[in-house]
Chains A and B, each alone.
Chain A
Amino acid sequence: MKYTIIQIILMDAKNFPLLVPSDVDEPSYCGFITVKGQELAFQIKLENNSTGLKNAKLYGSPKLKRLIFGHEKALQQRLEQCASFSEFFVDLKDLLELLMTKEKTDPSPCENYYSTLINELNSIGWDKLEAFNPSLKNLSLKLNDSSGRQHSIFVSLPFSYPQTPLIVHAELPTPSSTTSNHMASLKDAVSFYSKVSLDKELEKFQYVWSMLDDIDAHTWVLEPCKPKRSDLIRRIALGNHCSLQIELDASYPKGECQYRLFGTESLISPLREKIIKNWNTWLNFDLTIRQNFENILEITFPSTQTISTSDINIECGICYSYRHEDSLPDQSCNNAKCGQPFHRSCLYEWLRSIPSTKQSFNTFFGNCPYCNDAITTTICDQ
């Protein structure tokens, strides 16, 4: 008898929906999730050859779709971040339960609700309507900025609309954008975001976005796996388990950024020295941030075509995960031929379990589990 990964996790707990693989070659799973006595059909498609839930897609029945409207992006992101289906199903179930309770208690819309909305859409133009849910309670509008980048504006309409204002928000890399704005009409929302934000406010992000687009197009970005417009961090693969993390700051427009190198000390210390030595040559603002880093580091960032997956593997050699209790694998074996990354807490747990490990103050001296070379780590306070 063969087990699929999913079957195993599902059997771990009774809460999870029954899931059956619908196709052996194209990994895809169908099932029902039971929420408040209702069975909702859904399907999860996995991308061939992809690891874990990266690039997994969630599809649902009309009822499920209607419930999760406006939460699709968050759910999709959750699905991709989750290490397992079970982790994801817990979230999905929680969300559906919440939405179902909300749906039941929602009063029916005001008298002029639909007619006002239709009039509004007529006046702003239906081409701006990106998506809406069947009850027309939530919708999203699309707007282009001066560089032609498309942005979504999310609108939720209270049932007392048009007596009470709309709640509007957009995905921007500023903390203020996460707070919702109240607007009297869709027209106001569109003009607010296109006049105020897209043309003026958003102008300051154009440079940062074009720098990020350049990084995404020319390097192997390890994190985030599907960057949003509001993500200003990129972790770039350098090969040999090493990586460079760049964080841009929208408020410092010209090329100011924070960086951090991860990987085997013997491989990254020459890079660190080059950055220190060449930092003053960062004068060429005609070049992108990526090109400036390539000049300073005297390398070309490897792309997905020029590097093998085993070479960029940055998962911890002990727990096999990338993110573990909110920490990243920031310890590496110093043997350049090995370079195996570890979480500090995982390496500490391992060294602590070995009788031959020596301790001096808060430093542990032992051997790399992979190549047996000397390795040290400091105590973690857990």
Chain B
Amino acid sequence: MVNAVSRRLLKELKDYQKERNPDLIELSPIQEDNILVWKAVLRGEAETPYEGGHWTLRIEIPKNYPIQPPKMKFLTKICHPNISFKTGEICLDILKAAWSPAWTLQSACMAIRLLLSNPEPTSPLNCDAANLLRCGDFMGYESLVRMYTQLYAMSQTDNEGSA
């Protein structure tokens, strides 16, 4: 039967669909038969090196959501001090100890988007990017990020557009 978790997720989906969020291009379950696995597509913020990029995230929702936070990771490669380039793992407090049921999948996605322009180089998952920031090489950092955005996050947009 539709349990409490599904009910809350359906309400979240409805809220997202009611008022489209231009920064969150997509937010929906991936498969038709599983409401506990979702996909989100984030739009990179303008005037940042992420501008023009679209990133897909995979969201796994635990059975006792929203007591436990959702597991979120990037599927599209992204260069960011707090995101693993290899696995897409995200280091963000609200997805761990600072989680509360007041967060939703949508607001958590928006927090991740905010993290992109506000990196925290002291807890890095991507040391190359973090080191550039830590030694104050902002030009180098931005050009590295922009390169990966063009390499991975813009071609995907074309694919999506033609599909």
Contact = CB atoms under 8 A, between A and B. Distances in A.
B135 to A, nearest CB: 36
Contacts of A7: 32
Contact of A318 (B12, B29, B66): B66
B29 A3 contact: yes
A222 interface: no
A350 B67 contact: yes
B9 to A, nearest CB: 9
Contacts of B6: 9, 12, 84
B10 interface: yes
Contacts of A2: 28
B2 to A, nearest CB: 4
Given A3-B28, A3-B29, A8-B32, A319 B10 contact: no
A51 B100 CA distance: 24
A307 B64 CA distance: 34
Interface in B5-36: 6-8, 10-14, 17, 28-29, 31-33, 35
Given A11-B32, A12-B35, A317-B101, A83 B7 contact: yes
Contacts of B102: 317, 369-370
Interface string B94-112: 0000001110000000000
Contacts of A86: 1-2
A164 interface: no
A235 B68 CA distance: 32
A212 B160 CA distance: 56
Given A317-B101, A318-B66, A12 B33 contact: yes
B4 interface: yes
B1 A9 contact: no
Nearest to A338: B102
Contacts of B32: 3, 7-8, 11
Interface residues of B, number: 25
Interface residues of A, number: 27
A241 to B, nearest CB: 14
A349 B64 CA distance: 9
A90 interface: yes
A319 B33 contact: no
Nearest to B4: A319
A87 interface: yes
A88 B67 CA distance: 27
A147 interface: no
B1 A5 contact: no
Given A5-B13, A87-B2, A353 B68 contact: yes
A240 B33 CA distance: 38
A90 B8 contact: no
A84 B10 contact: yes
Interface string B30-74: 011101000000000000000000000000000010111000000
A141 B66 CA distance: 50
A5 B101 contact: no
Could you say which of A5, A84, A318, A320 has the most chain B C-beta atoms within 10 Å of its C-beta?
A: A320
Contacts of A177: none
11 contacts: A8-B10, A9-B6, A9-B10, A84-B2, A317-B101, A319-B4, A319-B7, A320-B7, A321-B8, A350-B67, A370-B102
